[in-house]
Amino acid sequence: MTSNSGLNTQVHVFTSAAINYLPKVRMLFNSLRKHHPDWILHLVLADILPSDLDIGKELVDHITTIESLNIYQWRGWAFCHTITELATAIKPWMLERLLEQSGDGGKVIYLDPDIVVFSPLTDIIAALDESSIVLTPHQIQPESTLAAIIDNEICSLKHGIYNLGFLAVSNTPIGKAFARWWAERTYYFCRDEIPNGLFTDQRWIDLVPAFFPEVAIMRTTRHNVATWNITTRHMSFDQDGNYLVDNQPLGFYHFTGFDSGAHLIMAAKNGSGNDAINRLVSWYTDQIKPLANDPLTHKSWAFNTFESGYLITKDQRIVYRSRRDLQLAFPNPFDIDGFETWWQNRAKSEYPDLFRNESKDSALRKIVTPITPGFLGSSASLSGGLNKAAQLLIRALTDQKTGCQISKRSWEVLKQEGINGIISRLS
């Protein structure tokens, strides 16, 4: 394996968020500045940059907005995603850009905005010196109770083995190939649809150790500490108050789910009686309390509404994502006289079950159950599906037995999945 080390190695660190998360991004970057003042810090925005934001006062070195990532027909593509899906979908696109910028031997690290770094991350850089991709699993030790197996191990089977709150990649041919592959997957399939085997950008990474060489899996207990693994790690603090994990300095802690209250619940359940965990959670609680008064915290997501100001619903995003005819008709679905008008005039007659409370959930499941490529844009070719349809039609007309089989199967799919099920099988 070729060494990726260099005397003048550039290390770029980035996080991805909407503008209302900038106060937490500051906490992450402040912790990075403390331990690695020479690293270059980037924020990629799944949002529009406010004109009144004074970038010069921020800790970040560079802010990149979604429109500058060269994502094909990005407005229509963005419409297909929730805020979490979009913030994760743009990560590999930013990774590609930073790998190009980092130069020979350069290294790029991604950290979620709700992470805080507590000690130097030199072991991660050392891992990147010998590998192209560095991952951290949610768990590195088996659980010992049924409750923890359900909460943690089965949760990892649903959401992904590796936690994508962290990722590190070297500027190597393998690193670049990985970034391109990951960007292609998130362009079409970055969705929070666990029943379909998809969880944003994260589930795809389960395939990485099989698809790519030079992958390092960091099994140290000091990194990516969170409620999903504190049952198997011992947290403490030394006489100076520095946090330790299994007697090693805590590298970084992931305060995921803090806003919803889920972190507090799981920390109390999995870390009950541990003074260090209690103190750490109390510290973060105190740190984020003032953020409620920061005007940025209350900034609305730019892609939360149509240009008319009306809120975009989940079912509107899913219907648009599943219908190529709508994507072609309304390439910018945010427009006042575009998709919103179609929805008001046509959606109820075409999707009546979406407008009934008792049938809405099942109607949505029916739309998303056949996995389709999502946003294809105006130039993506459907010739493969059309050719497949033509071949089936010819076989049905020339072979009576085949025709009966195709008709029977088509009717079953139509009853269970609707027209989208037929379309997905021709794509």
Q: State pLDDT tens for residues 42-91.
A: 999 999 999 888 888 898 999 999 999 999 999 999 999 999 999 999 99
Three-class HEC string of the chain: CCCCCCCCCCEEEEEEECHHHHHHHHHHHHHHHHHCCCCEEEEEECCCCCCCCCHHHCCCCEEEEHHHCCCCCHHHHHHCCCHHHHHHHCHHHHHHHHHHHHCCCCEEEEECCCEEECCCCHHHHHHHHHCCEEECECCCCCCCCHHHHHHHHHHHHHHCCECCCEEEEECCHHHHHHHHHHHHHHHHHCEEEHHHCEEECCHHHHHHHHHCCCEEECCCCCCCECCCCHHHCCEEECCCCCEEECCEECCEEECCCCCCCHHHHHHHHHCCCCHHHHHHHHHHHHHHHHHHHCHHHHCCCCCCECCCCCECCHHHHHHHHHCHHHHHHCCCCCCCCCHHHHHHHHHHHHCHHHHCCCCHHHHHHHHHCCCCCCCCCCCCCCHHHHHHHHHHHHHHHHCHHHHHHHHHHHHHHHHHHCHHHHHHHHC
Phi, psi at residue 74, to the nearest 5°?
-65, -30
Cα-Cα-Cα-Cα dihedral sign, residues 18, 42, 207, 224: negative
Residues β-bridged to residue 403: none
Residues β-bridged to residue 236: 244
The CA R_g of the chain, rounded to the nearest whole Å, is 24
How many Cβ atoms are within 10 Å of 361's Cβ, its own excluded? 11
Query: Is pLDDT of 106 > 80?
Result: yes
pLDDT digits 0-9 by tens, 313-372? 999 999 999 999 999 999 999 998 899 999 999 999 999 999 999 999 999 999 999 899
Query: Is pLDDT of 219 > 90?
Result: yes
The percentage of residues in the chain with a pLDDT greater than 70, rounded to a whole number, is: 87
The percentage of residues in the chain with a pLDDT greater than 90, rounded to a whole number, is: 80
Select from 97, 31, 45 the least CA-distant residue to 74.
Answer: 45
User: What's the whole-number mean pLDDT along residues 128-154?
Assistant: 97
* pTM for this predicted structure: 0.88
The pLDDT, as a whole number, for residue 54 is 87
Residues β-bridged to residue 63: 43
Confidence tier at 381 by pLDDT (50, 70, 90) = very low
* Contact (CB, 8 A) for 79 and 335: no
Q: All domains of the chain, ordered by start, with CATH?
A: 11-293 (3.90.550.10), 306-380 (no CATH), 381-427 (no CATH)
* Contact (CB, 8 A) for 91 and 201: yes
